[in-house]
Structure 1
Amino acid sequence: MTDLYRLLPEEMEKMVIDMGYDRYRADQILMPLYYKFPKNIADIKQLPKEMIAKLVDAGYTIGLAKEVHSITSDDGDTTKVLLNLTNDKSVETVLMQYESEKIGGLPRSTVCI
């Protein structure tokens, strides 16, 4: 199985050309991956159904992290999330949001992984 998120744009182009499609099909995969976050290849509506089937048959997947657990602080400013990755490893991430009054300026957010 090959996760489409692991392919560089040049690798994506080579893959679609090797499958017999025009180079622009790589853009039709990349744009939704990074702007719409599809859960599976069939959710990429710009692709012809036959190409979707070829990608799946060739072992390509979309590997999104799955949320295992999350905790939000009482004030709602901090959220900690445990994610399970497609390789069965876990990663913890924390989102901290600061209102402008609390930090003396513009509101900001910080993410730690």
Structure 2
Amino acid sequence: MIVFPLCVAALTATPSSTAATDPSPDRRIVQTRIITQDLDLRTPEGQRRFRARVRWAAQNLCGTIPKDITVAMDVMRCIGEVRRDGAQQLAKVTGQTVGGTDR
């Protein structure tokens, strides 16, 4: 199991993300757990399934992209940060460099 500490802020009802060092008072830290015991992260298929789980977690943590452009940008930024965090965690576990992500 890999735990991803994520920093997100509440922007109305939709969270947005920022770096952990942001001192802004409207930020809160959330975490999600992604189960990996059933995956062989050394294989391309295991890595693909892991990235799919990260995408699912990002969508659930960050929300859907609304029509309001400001909120939409925050949600998209949050999703991007969650996916980057996932890629970095995968690279640590597999000893690989961070590369592209499955879409």
TM-score of the two chains, using structure 2 as the length reference: 0.29
| Structure with the bigger percentage of strand | 1
| Structure with the bigger percentage of helix | 2
TM-score of the two chains, using structure 1 as the length reference: 0.27
Higher relative contact order, structure no. (Cα contacts within 8 Å, ≥ 6 residues apart)? 2
Bigger Rg over Cα: 1
